Amino acid sequence: MTIAVAFLQPGWADWEAGQVLAALRGYYGVQIEIATPDGEPQTSMGGVLAAADYKFADPVLADAEVFLLIGSDAWIDYDDKALFSLLRQAQADGKVIGAICAGTVAAARAGLLAGKAHTSNDHAWLAKVAPDYAGAERYVDTPKAVTDGKLVTAAGSAPVTFSAAIARLVAPEGKHDDYVAMFAREFAD
Q: What is the pTM of this model?
A: 0.96
Q: How far apart are CA 88 and CA 110, in angstroms?
A: 7
Q: How far apart are CA 88 and CA 84, in angstroms?
A: 6
pLDDT in tens, 120-176: 999 999 999 999 999 999 999 999 999 999 999 999 999 999 999 999 999 998 888
Q: How far apart are CA 28 and CA 44, in angstroms?
A: 25
pLDDT in tens, 60-118: 999 999 999 999 999 999 999 999 999 999 999 999 999 999 999 999 999 999 999 99
